[in-house]
């Protein structure tokens, strides 16, 4: 083999020299110069392969200049196999969690697709050093259960609802998950009764999360950093009473709360709502309930079926039309269905306008059509309609007495998990900001918080 290669090299060398001398024109010179460079690189590369295959082949560098055409590469030198790709760097599995990572920003690609090996440069005279082993971040299951670090984000509704609609197909959680109650505040302006709620939440960290939809306020400007409401403002849009943008705000609250996989129950509240039991009573009542609490009933007459628009047919018929209180409480299953609805919400938005009051009909109708067995058909939020008019009665300072609060707590003939002696109301409205002082005063004596 050696002699054959050498013979060929010498023969070619002679031929090339002859050729070179014959034409010393400038263009030719450039051409041959390029050819020379190419040949040099090829030769160096070849020398490596040959060395690897057979150390006895003695390739002198000064001979390589004559290798000027790829076709002249000796056929007897087999093409070397491509070097095997570096093994994917699998760092040791760590069970540590990184609290800095937000669930919404999880990327699990790093070790599923290792970076492609760098291109081999045929001109280089030495093989590139192997890339230093990368240490991609390893995620543990715990991170998927950590709440997002902040409620701030720049997602559009479309983006947010898509993200929030993701749900695990395997229903059983792989780790012990402490379910939380999400308190969704849909407010006009400040949470005026915040000090009462602060008292209510005290000592129950880890069992609740708070979300505030208020426009145009940024909550940070109205509550101190020590408040449970601080930093809980979600990106909000303008809301008008009785319009479907109110329902969209409710769905926006649900979607934001769904981003925390530990949230299991979702209760809608306003700035004039108060809790009438302590946290442990409300938490146990909601977490252990087999149903959601979306009020839904069929009502003939102008404020019931009278608000139905026949253009909603055939998606919603008049027989399916329902009414109910806006103030819902629902489980995670129903919350996911509500934010994923792309059939009924658009029809309501288009045809439920003016004196239709979608906030009193969309959820009662949607839930009654698809999930009638999942709601108890009643609301957990007490309101006083006894004075008549389009709005419920608003309680002022002197309406708030011990007896009045005890009365609110005393309704106990409601169905709860199949029994008929359950507590009826956990929350009440509407309380004017000026009731705050008296509520704070009576809370420990009457409401046990
Ligand atoms: C994580 O690993 C350490 C040792 O590497 C161990 O002591 C600890 O119990 C592990 N934690 C979990 C949650 O598995
Ligand atoms: C949200 O923020 C990201 C990164 O800062 C940016 O690329 C994106 O355009 C923003 N989206 C919107 C809707 O503002
Ligand atoms: C509110 O405060 C929190 C906590 O400091 C911060 O993360 C968030 O960006 C603030 N939000 C606004 C709207 O200023
Ligand atoms: C909560 O209130 C109930 C009565 O409604 C009372 O029996 C219970 O002790 C209270 N729990 C706490 C932790 O104060
Ligand atoms: C709620 O009402 C629906 C009819 O709209 C009924 O099918 C369902 O059983 C009711 N739920 C309960 C818990 O009574």
Q: Among 72, 99, 118, where does a domain finish?
A: 72
Which pLDDT does position 63 carry in this prediction? 44
Interatomic CA distance for residues 227 and 224, integer angstroms: 6
Is the CB of residue 448 below 6 angstroms from any atom belonging to ligand 4?
Answer: yes
Q: Report the residue among 104, 154, 160 best suited for mutation to probe ligand 2: largest number of ligand atoms under 8 A from its CB.
A: 154
10-residue mean pLDDT series, the chain (449 residues): 54 52 56 65 59 47 43 45 48 41 40 49 62 82 91 95 96 95 94 95 97 78 86 91 92 98 97 97 98 97 93 96 97 98 96 92 97 97 88 92 96 95 95 96 96
- Name the burial class of residue 239, with classes exposed (0-12), middle (13-18) and buried (19+) by CB atoms within 10 angstroms of its CB: buried
Between the alpha carbon of residue 448 and those of residues 222, 281, 439, 441, the distances in Å are: 27, 10, 12, 11
Which pLDDT does position 134 carry in this prediction? 80
Centroid of ligand 1 to alpha carbon of 95 (angstroms): 6
Return the number of other C-beta atoms located less than 10 Å from residue 256's C-beta: 28
Look up residue 395 and give its DSSP letter. Answer: B
Tell whether 273 is covered by a domain.
Answer: yes
Tell whether 399 is covered by a domain.
Answer: no
187 with 59, same domain: the answer is no
Is the CB of residue 209 below 6 angstroms from any atom belonging to ligand 5?
Answer: no
Tell whether 46 is covered by a domain.
Answer: yes
| Domain extent at residue 61 | 2-72
Look up residue 197 and give its DSSP letter. Answer: H
63 with 146, same domain: the answer is no
Centroid of ligand 5 to alpha carbon of 375 (angstroms): 7
Tell whether 432 is covered by a domain.
Answer: no
40 with 184, same domain: the answer is no
146 with 22, same domain: the answer is no
Which pLDDT does position 155 carry in this prediction? 96
Q: By alpha-carbon position, which residue is closest to atom 11 of ligand 4?
A: 280
Tell whether 365 is covered by a domain.
Answer: yes
Look up residue 140 and give its DSSP letter. Answer: -
Is the CB of residue 292 below 6 angstroms from any atom belonging to ligand 5?
Answer: no
Tell whether 337 is covered by a domain.
Answer: yes
60 with 163, same domain: the answer is no
327 with 213, same domain: the answer is yes
Q: By alpha-carbon position, which residue is closest to atom 10 of ligand 4?
A: 448
295 with 147, same domain: the answer is yes
Interatomic CA distance for residues 17 and 39, integer angstroms: 15
Three-state DSSP class for 263? strand
Domains identified in the chain, total number: 2
Q: Which two tokens stand for residue 169?
A: 């197909």
61 with 156, same domain: the answer is no
The helix (run of H) or strand (run of E) holding residue 74 is none
Q: By alpha-carbon position, which residue is closest to atom 12 of ligand 2?
A: 154
Look up residue 390 and give its DSSP letter. Answer: S
Tell whether 361 is covered by a domain.
Answer: yes
235 with 359, same domain: the answer is yes
Which pLDDT does position 72 carry in this prediction? 43
Q: Among 20, 49, 72, where does a domain finish?
A: 72
Is the CB of residue 280 below 6 angstroms from any atom belonging to ligand 4?
Answer: yes
Between the alpha carbon of residue 52 and those of residues 47, 131, 180, 251, the distances in Å are: 8, 22, 65, 67
Q: Among 40, 72, 104, where does a domain finish?
A: 72
Which pLDDT does position 131 carry in this prediction? 72
CATH of the domain at 305: 3.90.550
Give yes or no for a contact between 118 and 85, defined as CB atoms under 8 angstroms apart.
no
321 with 191, same domain: the answer is yes
Is the CB of residue 227 below 6 angstroms from any atom belonging to ligand 5?
Answer: no
227 with 358, same domain: the answer is yes
Return the number of other C-beta atoms located less than 10 Å from residue 436's C-beta: 18
Tell whether 122 is covered by a domain.
Answer: no
Q: By alpha-carbon position, which residue is closest to atom 1 of ligand 2?
A: 154
Which atom of ligand 5 is found nearest the CA of 415? 13
43 with 149, same domain: the answer is no
């Amino acid at each position: 083999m050696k002699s054959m290669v050498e013979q060929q090299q010498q023969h070619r060398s002679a031929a090339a020299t002859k050729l070179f001398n014959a034409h010393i024109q400038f263009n030719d010179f450039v051409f041959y110069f390029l050819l020379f460079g190419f040949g040099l690189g090829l030769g160096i590369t070849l020398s490596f392969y040959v060395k690897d295959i057979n150390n006895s082949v003695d390739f002198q560098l000064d001979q390589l200049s004559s290798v000027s055409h790829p076709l002249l590469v000796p056929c007897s030198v087999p093409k070397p196999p491509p070097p095997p790709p570096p093994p994917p760097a699998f760092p040791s599995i760590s069970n540590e969690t990184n609290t800095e990572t937000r669930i919404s920003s999880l990327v699990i690609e790093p070790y599923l697709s290792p970076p492609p090996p760098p291109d081999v440069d045929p001109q280089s005279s030495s093989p590139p050093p192997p890339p230093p082993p990368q240490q991609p971040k390893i995620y543990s299951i715990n991170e998927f259960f950590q709440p997002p670090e902040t409620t701030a984000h720049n997602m559009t509704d479309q983006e947010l609802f898509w993200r929030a609609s993701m749900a695990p197909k395997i229903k059983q959680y792989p780790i012990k998950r402490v379910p939380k109650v999400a308190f969704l505040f849909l407010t006009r302006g400040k949470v005026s009764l915040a000090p009462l709620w602060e008292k209510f939440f005290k000592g129950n960290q880890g069992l609740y999360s708070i979300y505030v939809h208020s426009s145009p306020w940024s909550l940070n400007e109205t509550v101190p950093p020590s408040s449970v409401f601080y930093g809980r403002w979600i990106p909000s849009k303008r809301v008008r009473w009785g319009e479907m943008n109110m329902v969209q705000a409710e769905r926006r609250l649900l979607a934001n709360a769904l981003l925390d996989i530990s949230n299991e129950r979702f209760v809608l509240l306003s700035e004039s709502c108060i809790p009438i039991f302590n946290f442990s009573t409300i938490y146990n009542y909601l977490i252990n309930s087999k149903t959601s609490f979306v009020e839904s009933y069929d009502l003939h007459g102008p404020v019931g079926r009278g608000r139905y628009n026949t253009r909603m047919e055939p998606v919603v018929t008049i027989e399916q039309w329902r009414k109910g209180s806006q103030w819902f409480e629902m489980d995670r299953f129903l919350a996911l269905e509500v934010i994923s609805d792309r059939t009924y919400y658009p029809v309501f938005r288009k045809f439920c306008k003016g004196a239709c009051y979608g906030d009193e009909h969309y959820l009662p109708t949607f839930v009654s059509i698809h999930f009638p067995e999942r709601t108890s058909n009643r609301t957990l939020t007490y309101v006083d309609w006894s004075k008549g008019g389009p709005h419920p009665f608003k309680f002022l300072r002197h309406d708030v007495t011990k007896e009045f609060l005890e009365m609110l707590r005393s309704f106990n003939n409601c169905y709860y998990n199949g029994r008929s002696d359950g507590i009826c109301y956990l929350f009440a409205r509407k309380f004017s900001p000026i009731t705050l002082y008296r509520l704070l005063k009576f809370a420990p004596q009457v409401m046990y918080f």
